[in-house]
Amino acid sequence: MKVITTPREMQALVITWKGEGLKVGLVPTMGWFHEGHLSLMRKAREVADRVVVSLFVNPMQFAPTEDLDNYPHDLERDRKLAEAEGVDVLYAPEPADMYPAEFKTSVHVSGLTTGLCGASRPGHFDGVTTVVAKLFNQTLPHIAVFGEKDFQQLAVIRQMVRDLDFPIEIIGHAIVREQSGLAMSSRNTYLKEDEMEAAHSLAKAIVQAQHLVGQNKNLSPDQIKEEVTGIILSYPQCTIDYVEILDRSSLQPCERISSESVLVLAVKINQRIRLIDNSTLVGN
């Protein structure tokens, strides 16, 4: 496996691959790999001849009050994990190459970015779409694989690809969970032992919501949200950012529960760690 750090070298290699008729897959990450990331790499390996995993902790998507400086990173650890999954290139560009001093451009997707995480993290999605657009241009993939845990992010990326005519297939891959049900996240490493039970409240709330819908599909979204909110707030360490039930395509609130309804959650643990999760409510 090669480790590449410059956009020019990355582009040159992919152009060579494409000249050989090879299909290129990209898995964009911020590193500190866990089983969720590794599952994305395996998916890319299934559908592409060459797999590039990008590793870049993107400062543009962090607010000044967020955890950029403390975000976990260990390049050598991640290199070994990616290599074990058969990744062809670990692309780890330097911040100065991604955002040189004269950098003046950003990519903005309207509408889909205004609520949910966009409401509590102003500017976050401009940072996401800008860096992903740059990664697409630097790695020139045929397909890109993203995790479905970042539900809003996946919808925003798909919109950007459609609107800007990127010739890239976007593949969403299912959430990978701990045995306890907790959605895997690099931020789980921040959790102290006495915070783990509170963190599990998200998965517990999802399971209960699915159970209630299984018993009575005529329950209203507000009734489900009230139950979910009660479960999460029964843990004193939890503060709710949002609890919503949305249509999976439009991200608009659902008037009734259907197979297209997705429960989306964002919760802060002791105001330190922000966790997100989501699930459909019908058919699980």
- Give the residue among 283, 282, 243 at the shortest CA–CA distance from 263: 243
Per DSSP, 171 falls in state E
Tokens of 101: 């001093």
Average pLDDT over residues 95-104: 96
Phi-psi region of 119 (alpha: psi -120 to 50; beta: other; left: phi over 0): alpha
DSSP-assigned letter for residue 195: G
From residue 266, how far is each of 21, 24, 82, 132, 241 by CA, in Å? 42, 33, 29, 23, 5
- pLDDT, tens digit, for every residue of 104-113? 999 999 999 9
Report the alpha-carbon distance of residue 265 to residue 228 in Å, rounded. 9
Residue 53 reports pLDDT greater than 60: yes
So what's the pLDDT on residue 8?
A: 98
Q: Are 241 and 266 in contact (CB under 8 A)?
A: yes
First and final C-alpha spacing in the chain: 38
Domain boundaries, the chain: 2-173, 186-279
Topology classification of domain 2-173: Rossmann fold (3.40.50)
pLDDT at 284 over 60: no
What's the rounded Cα separation, in Å, for the pair 36 and 186? Answer: 9
Angle subtended at Cα 78 by Cα 10 and Cα 42, rounded to the nearest 5 degrees: 75
The pTM is what? 0.95
pLDDT (mean) for 173-191:
95
- Which candidate, 241, 265, 244, places its Cα nearest to that of 254? 244
Q: What is the structure's pLDDT at 67? A: 79
Determine the average pLDDT of the residues in 212-232.
96
Residue 207, Cβ neighbours under 10 Å: how many? 14
Measured over the CA atoms of residue 159, residue 174, residue 239 and residue 190, the dihedral's sign is negative
What's domain 186-279's architecture?
A: 2-Layer Sandwich (3.30)
Per residue in 129-167, pLDDT (tens digit) is 999 999 999 999 999 999 999 999 999 999 999 999 999
pLDDT at 69: 84
> Cα(47)–Cα(74) distance, rounded to whole angstroms?
28
* Helices 75-84 and 35-47, axial angle in degrees (round to 10): 40
Average of per-residue pLDDT values in the chain: 96
* Residue 204 in this model has a pLDDT that exceeds 80: yes
* Cα dist from 102 to 124, 132, 239, 255, 266, whole Å: 21, 19, 40, 47, 35
93-111 per-residue burial string, b: 16 or more CB within 10 A, e: under 16: beeeebbeeeeeeebebee
Question: Span 68-95, mean pLDDT?
Answer: 95
Q: 256 exposed, middle or buried (CB, 10 Å; 0-12, 13-18, 19+)?
A: exposed
Question: What is the reported pLDDT for 132?
Answer: 98
Contact 131, 280 (CB under 8 A): no
Give the model's pLDDT for residue 70: 83
Average pLDDT over residues 185-209: 96
Annotated catalytic residues are 37
pLDDT at 225: 98
Residue 211 has pLDDT above 90, yes or no: yes
Distance CA 228, CA 162 (A): 34
Res. 254: pLDDT tops 90: yes
